[in-house]
Amino acid sequence: MTDVPQQKPDLAEVVLAARNVAKSYGNVHALKGVNFDIHRGQVTTLFGENGAGKSTLMKILSGVIQPTSGEIILDGKPVAFNNSTEARDRGISIIHQELSLAPNLSVRDNIFMGREIMGPTGVDFAEEERQARRLMAELEEDIDPLTPVEELRLGQQQIVEIARALSVDSRILIMDEPTSALSASEVEVLFKVIRDLTAKGVSIVYISHHLEEALQITDHAVVLRDGTMTAYAPRAGIDLEWIVRNMVGDNYDLGSPPEGHVFGEVALSVRDLTVADPKGGAFNVVDRLSLDLRAGEVVCIYGLMGAGRTELLETVAGRLRASSGEVVLEGREISHLSIAERIARGLALVPEDRQRDGLVQTMSVGENLSLASIASFTKGLFTQKKAERALIDASIREVTVKTSGPAAAIGSLSGGNQQKVVIGKMLATKPRVIMLDEPSRGIDIGAKAEVFKLLAEEAKRGLAVIYSTSEVGECLSIAHRIIVMHKGRISAEFDSNVSKEKIMAASGESVAA
Amino acid sequence: MSDTTLARTAAAKPAFSLGRLLLEGRAFFALILIVAVFSFLSPNYFTVSNFLIMASHVAIYGILAVGMLLVILNGGIDLSVGSVLALSGVIAGALMQGVEMQALGVILYPPVWAVVVLTCALGAAVGAVNGVLIAWFKVPAFVATLGVMYVARGVALLMTNGLTYNNLSGRPELGNTGFDWLGFNRLAGIPISVLVLAGIAVLAGLMLSRSAFGRWLYASGGNERAADLSGVPVKRVKITVYTLSGMLAAVAGLVLSSQLTSAGPTAGTTYELTAIAAVVIGGAALTGGRGTVRGTMLGAFVIGFLSDGLVIIGISSYWQTVFTGAVIVLAVLMNSIQYGKGPRKG
The pLDDT of A153-158, averaged and rounded, is 79
Query: φ, ψ for residue A142 (rounded to 5)?
Result: -90, 75
For chain A, the average pLDDT equals 84
CA distance A84 to B329: 30
Note whether B226 and B219 are within 8 A (CB).
yes
pLDDT at position A486: 83
Q: Considering CB atoms only, which of A378, A411, A425 is closest to B230?
A: A425
All residues of chain B having their beta carbon less than 8 Å from the beta carbon of residue A381 are 210-211
Note whether B289 and B223 are within 8 A (CB).
yes
pLDDT at position A27: 67
pLDDT at position B253: 94
Which of B279, B277, B290 shows the shortest CA–CA distance to B320? Answer: B277
**Which residues fall within 8 angstroms of residue B179, CB to CB, at 6 or more apart?**
B92, B96, B112, B115, B168, B169, B170, B258, B261
Q: What are the pLDDT digits (tens) for A75-114?
A: 888 888 888 888 888 888 888 877 788 888 999 999 888 8
All residues of chain B having their beta carbon less than 8 Å from the beta carbon of residue A343 are 230-231
The bridge status of strand A464-469 relative to strand B190-191 is unpaired
CA distance B76 to A92: 41
Which of B79, B41, B120, B74 shows the shortest CA–CA distance to B305? Answer: B41
Query: φ, ψ for residue A273 (rounded to 5)?
Result: -75, 130
Q: What is the CA radius of gyration of chain B?
A: 22
Chain B interface test: which of A343, A371, A419, A435 (most B C-beta within 10 Å)? A371
**Which residues fall within 8 angstroms of residue B2, CB to CB, at 6 or more apart?**
none
CA distance B20 to B164: 49
All residues of chain B having their beta carbon less than 8 Å from the beta carbon of residue A439 are none
With CB atoms and an 8 Å threshold, state whether B218 touches A367: yes
Secondary structure of A324-350 as H, E, C letters? EEEEEECCEECCCCCHHHHHHCCEEEE
A298–chain B Cβ distance below 8 A for any pair: no
pLDDT at position A232: 84
Which of B98, B96, B97 shows the shortest CA–CA distance to B112? Answer: B96
pLDDT at position A11: 43
Note whether B179 and B113 are within 8 A (CB).
no
The bridge status of strand A481-486 relative to strand A489-495 is antiparallel
Which of A81, A98, A94, A72 shows the shortest CA–CA distance to A170? Answer: A94
A329 pLDDT band (50/70/90 cuts)? very high
Tell me which of A10-24, A222-236, B75-89, B239-253 is least confident: A10-24
Q: Considering CB atoms only, which of B230, B285, B346 is closest to A371?
A: B230
Residue-by-residue DSSP string for B235-298:
HHHHHHHHHHHHHHHHHHHHHHHHHHT-B-TTTTTTHHHHHHHHHHHTT--TTSS---HHHHHH
- By C-alpha distance, the chain A residue nearest B226 is A357
Note whether A401 and A236 are within 8 A (CB).
no
The bridge status of strand A203-207 relative to strand A220-225 is unpaired
Spans of all domains in chain B? 28-339
- What amino acid is encoded at A107 in this protein? V
CA distance B154 to B150: 6
A8 pLDDT band (50/70/90 cuts)? very low
CA distance A485 to A270: 14
CA distance B120 to B182: 14
In a 10 Å sphere around its CB, with 0-12 CB exposed, 13-18 middle and 19+ buried, how is residue A321 labelled?
exposed
Angle between helix axes B112-135 and B141-160 (nearest 10 degrees) is 150
Beta bridge partners of A448: none
* A356 secondary structure, DSSP code: I
Note whether B285 and B77 are within 8 A (CB).
no
pTM reported for the whole predicted model: 0.79
Note whether A471 and A268 are within 8 A (CB).
no
Instruction: Show pLDDT as tens, one digit a residue, over chain B (346 residues).
Output: 333 333 333 333 344 567 777 777 788 888 999 999 999 998 888 888 889 989 999 999 999 999 999 999 999 999 999 999 999 999 998 888 877 777 777 777 888 888 999 999 999 999 999 999 999 999 999 999 999 999 999 999 998 888 888 877 777 777 667 777 777 777 888 888 999 999 999 999 999 999 999 999 999 999 999 999 999 999 999 999 999 999 999 999 999 998 888 888 988 888 999 999 999 999 898 889 999 999 999 999 999 999 889 888 888 888 888 888 888 888 888 877 777 654 333 3
Compare A460 and B22 and report the one with higher pLDDT.
A460
Query: What domains does chain A contain, in order, with CATH numbers?
Result: 14-248 (3.40.50.300), 266-346+431-513 (3.40.50.300), 356-430 (no CATH)
pLDDT at position B8: 36
Which of A47, A435, A453, A54 shows the shortest CA–CA distance to A253? Answer: A453
All residues of chain B having their beta carbon less than 8 Å from the beta carbon of residue A339 are 228-229, 231
**Which residues fall within 8 angstroms of residue A336, CB to CB, at 6 or more apart?**
none
With CB atoms and an 8 Å threshold, state whether A25 touches B223: no
CA distance B160 to A311: 55
Q: Considering CB atoms only, which of A355, A359, A362 is closest to B290?
A: A362
Q: What are the pLDDT digits (tens) for A269-302?
A: 999 999 988 776 677 888 899 999 999 999 999 8
pLDDT at position A12: 40
Q: What are the pLDDT digits (tens) for A437-452?
A: 988 876 766 778 888 8
CA B111 from centre of chain: 27
CB burial of A155-176 (b: ≥16 within 10 Å; e: otherwise) equals ebbbbbbbbbbbbeebbbbbbb
Which of A107, A115, A71 shows the shortest CA–CA distance to A89? Answer: A115
All residues of chain A having their beta carbon less than 8 Å from the beta carbon of residue B221 are 362
CA distance B16 to A444: 32
Distance from CA of A19 to the nearest CA of B (A): 17
pLDDT at position A252: 54
Neighbours of B128 (CB within 10 A): 17
Note whether A403 and A434 are within 8 A (CB).
no
CA distance A359 to A411: 10
- CATH for the B28-339 domain, from 1.10.3470, 3.90.700, 1.10.600, 3.30.2420: 1.10.3470
**Which residues fall within 8 angstroms of residue B314, CB to CB, at 6 or more apart?**
none
Compare A124 and B19 and report the one with higher pLDDT.
A124
Chain A interface test: which of B20, B220, B229, B287 (most A C-beta within 10 Å)? B229
Give, in order, the Cα–Cα distances in Å from A444 to each of A36, A307, A330, A470, B226: 21, 25, 35, 16, 23
Secondary structure of B175-187 as H, E, C letters? CCCCCCHHHHCEE
Q: C-alpha dihedral over A232, A237, A241, A243, to 10 degrees?
A: 20
Note whether B199 and B59 are within 8 A (CB).
no
